[in-house]
Structure 1
Amino acid sequence: MTIEMLLAAARTAQARAHAPYSRFRVGAAVRDETGAVHAGCNVENAAYPVGTCAEAGAIAAMVAGGGRRIAAILVLGEGEALVTPCGACRQRIREFASPDTPVHVAGPEGVRRSFTLGTLLPDSFGPDTLGLPG
């Protein structure tokens, strides 16, 4: 599994985003513990707080497909600034990933920067905080 495969899946999802209000399309792709790739896109709603982030869609697709662990994630957005996961999505990723999980941030030209989840969400609250495996 290569970053290029995650990028391709995120691009396909980004093209299908429903972003009539912000016009800011985002795609995301996760690779699960089996190597399967699951993608999602942002889906906006006229009632703004009930929209869905691309990362949330990709994670939901992973769970629906039987995946339980994020081995890597890629987020694709446009513009000059890095499009990193929002705070809520960092926590969503944490539910299924470990601090050393790679988080790749891409733009139209490709991967711009790679982080670990621990860098983006240090000292996070996760399943292990509750004494659960994870």
Structure 2
Amino acid sequence: MEPRLDRPKEAIDRLFEAAVAARAHAYAPYSRFAVGAAIRTASGAVFAGANIENAAYPVGLCAEAAAIAAMVVAGEREIAEILILAEGGEPIMPCGACRQRLFEFATPETMIHSAGPAGVALSLTLAELLPHAFGRQSLAP
């Protein structure tokens, strides 16, 4: 599936640059798999995060979760799109927990861009990435 870059190139470039900068500060001494993520909110603000590993492996933090935390701390609540950047053989996609985190603050139409050092490799909507998601609409009133 080809990247769907229906946004202006400058908007994607801004996310890419923010993810590259965040990835440069990733703390990945165990896996050596540095990841950067950058979120653009509905207001146009950009928030970035990097993965942070821990010797007690399950205690680590994904780049997407770090970017979402920065967004929430700044008072923002709506993800318009996210770009995730890593070096690897396949396009990098959010883990299951991060897909759920994204669903909390995004819409089914929110674009998820997977990038490597050369640029965006794959773009999907959140609905394509996480069909039939559990969210606030699933909770009893």
Partner of 2:74: 65
Match of 1:81 in 2: 90
SS in 1 for 2:72: helix
Identity %: 60
**TM-score, length-scaled by structure 1:** 0.95
Partner of residue 109 from structure 2, selected from 62, 81, 100: 100
Q: Between the two structures, name the one with larger relative contact order (CA 8 Å, sep ≥ 6).
A: 2
Q: Per-residue displacement from partner, 1:41-96 (whole Å, max 9, x unpaired)? A: 00000000000000000000000111100000110010121110000000000000
Q: CA RMSD in A?
A: 1.1
Choose the corresponding residue for 1:47, options 41, 45, 56: 56
Is 1:91 aligned with 2:100?
Answer: yes
Note closer, same or farther for the CA distance 1:99–1:107 as it changes in structure 2 (3 Å cut): same
Q: What 5-or-longer segments of structure 2 have no aligned partner? A: 1-9
Residue among 38, 43, 57 paired with 1:34: 43
Aligned counterparts of 2:16 and 2:136: Cα–Cα separation in 1? 28
Q: Can you list the C-alpha shifts for 1:78-122, whole angstroms capped at 9, x where unaligned?
A: 012111000000000000011110000000100001000000100
- Three-state SS of the structure 2 residue aligned to 1:112 is strand
Provide the rounded CA distance (Å) in 1 between the counterparts of 2:81 and 2:20: 16
TM-score for the superposition, normalised by structure 2 = 0.91
Structure 2 counterpart of 1:40, which letter?
Answer: G
CA distance in 2, matches of 1:13, 1:24: 13
Question: How many Å apart are 1:130 and its aligned residue?
Answer: 2.1
- Count of aligned positions: 132
What does the per-residue CA deviation read over 1:16-65, in whole Å, with 9 as the maximum and x for residues that have no partner? 00000000000000011210000000000000000000000000000011
Moved over 4 A (4+): none
For residues 80 and 126 of structure 1, the distance between their equivalents in structure 2, rounded to whole angstroms, comes to 32
Structure 2 equivalent of residue 23 of structure 1? 32
